Chains A and B, each alone.
Chain A
Amino acid sequence: MWLFFLLFFFFNLSPVKAQTQDELFTQYRQDYLFLRDEYQKNYLDFLNKKNVYIQYRSITSEQDMIESTKAVLFSRNKMLKSFLMALRVSLDKYKNINPVNTEKNQIQLSKWEEWLDEQNLIIPNFTNSSDIKEWATLFKNRYLEIQNAFYQALTQADVNLRLYNLNEIKLLAEEIKTDPKNNNFTQDWFASFPVKSDLIKNSLETATALAQKPQKARTFDNYYPEVRVQTQKADSYLESLLADLKAITIKFYN
């Protein structure tokens, strides 16, 4: 009898449904948007308290300003951490295309998530403006590296998506090639494929090179708009490949 119950219990347990990558990303993205709103609210409060302090220069208003500064810095770190988390999770989707570089980016993002967590243990202990100022200077320098890490990750996500699409088009073309109705119609398409594929890969390599360029200036040199130009170029070649393949398929089916 007990054995029956035990067997029933084990076999009847419905397995906990694992969150898919998309669901996880959606959840982290929502967390990020919520924390972004929190940061914006705290930022407005900080500006208000700062103005009061500048106007009256009283001890109470200074104390209020210190507290609001701590609150806004704390919420800023939380928001940034949630952004990095969402980005790190999003990289899982097409990680198989380039596992080594993608993993490298994810490690970088994790490192900065931890650093932001550590900073949020320090911030509540500040009691004066000079300590806050010292920390804010340190953060400003570190943010250059944080920015570089997340722009590199964004570039990797863009590159992975294009390479995945290229591979999907090739797989579909191979499937169409073996179609019984196809009387060598795809021959020309396959002949031009290496050229277009190289053009796509060149654009994506340029995008990766832009992201890997070391940052020498004291302010962040944003290369991401140039990366976008390269990825859009790759998209146009992908669209052209797919449109040609579609036209060929229609041709031999009609």
Chain B
Amino acid sequence: MAEIPYQNIDIPQNNPLGFREEMPASPPAAPKKLSPKIILLIALGAIILLLFIISLIVSSRRKNSNSITPIITPTPTEIIAPTVSKSLLPEIYQEKFETIENNINQDLEIEIPAIDLEIGL
């Protein structure tokens, strides 16, 4: 009985017979054409992602500009008007001066009526 050499037909490289099975040349895989729906979806997703990133950047910038560290501003000193201090006046005249001061620039508190003279005409 002739010895039948073991031939591993699954792995041609290991074939002891030196038999090299010609593998049928597989045709180069043609690039799979994406359906327009998927392209649209990808485009939309990209736009959304872009907008999201932009919004993040804008909000972070705004936050930075708002968070200005408070600086203590010095309050301007009151301009001292050259007025005569009331306290320097003797008490007996204080009230009299005050009454006259209040009377000056005091006008009649009554508004002049505004009327429409065309009523009935």
Contact = CB atoms under 8 A, between A and B. Distances in A.
Main secondary structure of the interface of B (DSSP, over half): loop
Contact of A253 (B88, B108, B118): B88
Given A36-B113, A73-B120, A168 B103 contact: yes
Contact of A76 (B97, B110, B115): B115
B83 to A, nearest CB: 9
Nearest to A134: B120
A169 B110 contact: no
Contact of A168 (B100, B109, B112): B100
A172 B100 contact: yes
B25 to A, nearest CB: 93
A249 interface: yes
Nearest to B116: A43
A87 B121 contact: no
Contacts of A73: 119-120
Interface string A25-52: 0000100100010010001001000000
Interface string A14-30: 00000000000000010
Interface residues of B, number: 28
B106 A136 contact: no
Contacts of A161: 103, 106-107
Interface in B37-85: 84-85
Given A76-B115, A172-B93, A247 B108 contact: no
B9 interface: no
B90 interface: yes
Contacts of B100: 165, 168-169, 172, 242
Contacts of A140: 117, 121
Given A80-B113, A242-B101, 16 more contacts: A43-B119, A76-B115, A86-B110, A90-B108, A140-B121, A143-B115, A161-B106, A165-B103, A168-B99, A172-B96, A238-B104, A239-B104, A246-B84, A246-B97, A247-B84, A249-B89
